[in-house]
Amino acid sequence: MNRNVATILAIILVVIGVIGYGSVFAVHETQQALLLQFGNPIKTVQNSGLNFKMPFVQNVQFMEKRILDFDAPPVEAVAADKKRIVVDAYARFRISDPLKFYQTVNNEVTARNRMAPIVNSSLRNVIGRVKLETMLSGERSKLMHEIRGLVNDEAGKLGIEIIDVRIKRADLPEANSQAVYDLMRAERKRIATEIRAEGAERSQKITATADRQRTVLLADAQKSSEIMRGEGDALRNKVFADAYTKDPEFFAFYRSLQAYRTALQSGDTTMVLSPNSDFFSYFGDSRGRRDKAKE
């Protein structure tokens, strides 16, 4: 009998424990909860701590309270100047209304799928009203604020608050990128050709100027050398003339020495002359030579 009572008490304690465990739930500070009764939401719990519910009848669905990131798929948009651009954006959001979030999307996976067309549609809408250069200018932050406002209007219907929307990358489509690359390459080649042509023209001008200056310098140098040579020859002739006037015998002797040096310079010269030739007059008696010079 005592054993049966103990068993019954143990069963009662287990049931009480199960009921007690099922009646309490804890909400973490990074979470918020929605209390459901037979699948219908009846209470929103956004404060952390212990809470109570009816076991087996009510259940709890937990949701993130922190700010979440959403990476939107790349979208191709057309700017106001008819230029196409591929935009890769991301958003930061949080669940602001757990009840509306549960009623519209139920979970984060569905919420992200619903947010993708909202973000892309807002991007196309804003980019379509501005030129491409505006996207790359200082007005970009203003455009991001406008995009965030449009996304927030639609996301608010899902119980979501958009904290921020940013563009990670904005590229031209592949075909346009290749065309722009080819255009830039052709432009650079054209500029390089012009620079080379200008360089060649300048080189020719510099070379022509240098050749002209060289010719002028050589002509001036030759002119100066001819003038100096002429002046030297005139001075030499004057010196010779003055020497001949002062001492004709010495001048004749000097001229003979020059003739000897020129004629006998090689050392292998053979000369056949008469002993009485005037060429060897200075090899004889110096006295007779003076007498001959006087005559």
Residue of 48, 91, 87, 93 whose CA lies nearest to 67: 93
Q: Which of 34-38, 111-115, 130-134, 192-196 has the lowest mean pLDDT?
A: 130-134
The pLDDT of residue 161 is 92
- Please give the mean pLDDT across all residues of the chain: 79
Average pLDDT over residues 116-132: 87
Indicate whether 269 pLDDT > 80: no
The pLDDT of residue 40 is 84
Band of pLDDT at residue 58, cut at 50, 70 and 90: confident
Outline where the chain has alpha helix (H). 2-22, 98-104, 108-127, 132-135, 140-155, 174-246, 248-263, 286-294
The pLDDT of residue 75 is 84
The pLDDT of residue 292 is 47
State how far the Cα of 70 lies from the Cα of 294, in Å rounded to an integer: 131
Average pLDDT over residues 101-125: 89
The pLDDT of residue 142 is 85
Q: Count Cα neighbours of 125 within 13 Å in the Cβ-side half-sphere.
A: 13
Give yes or no for a contact between 117 and 71, defined as CB atoms under 8 angstroms apart: no
Band of pLDDT at residue 80, cut at 50, 70 and 90: confident
Is the pLDDT higher at 267 or at 52?
Answer: 52
User: Which residues does residue 24 pair with via DSSP β-bridges, in sequence order?
Assistant: 52
Indicate whether 295 pLDDT > 70: no
The pLDDT of residue 267 is 61
Indicate whether 45 pLDDT > 80: yes
Question: CATH topology for 68-171?
Answer: Tetrahydropterin Synthase; Chain A (3.30.479)
Taking the alpha carbons at both ends of the chain, their separation in whole angstroms is 189
pTM higher than 0.75, yes or no? no
Indicate whether 286 pLDDT > 90: no
The pLDDT of residue 293 is 46
* Maximum Cα–Cα distance across the chain: 189
Q: Where are the domains of the chain?
A: 2-64, 68-171, 241-295
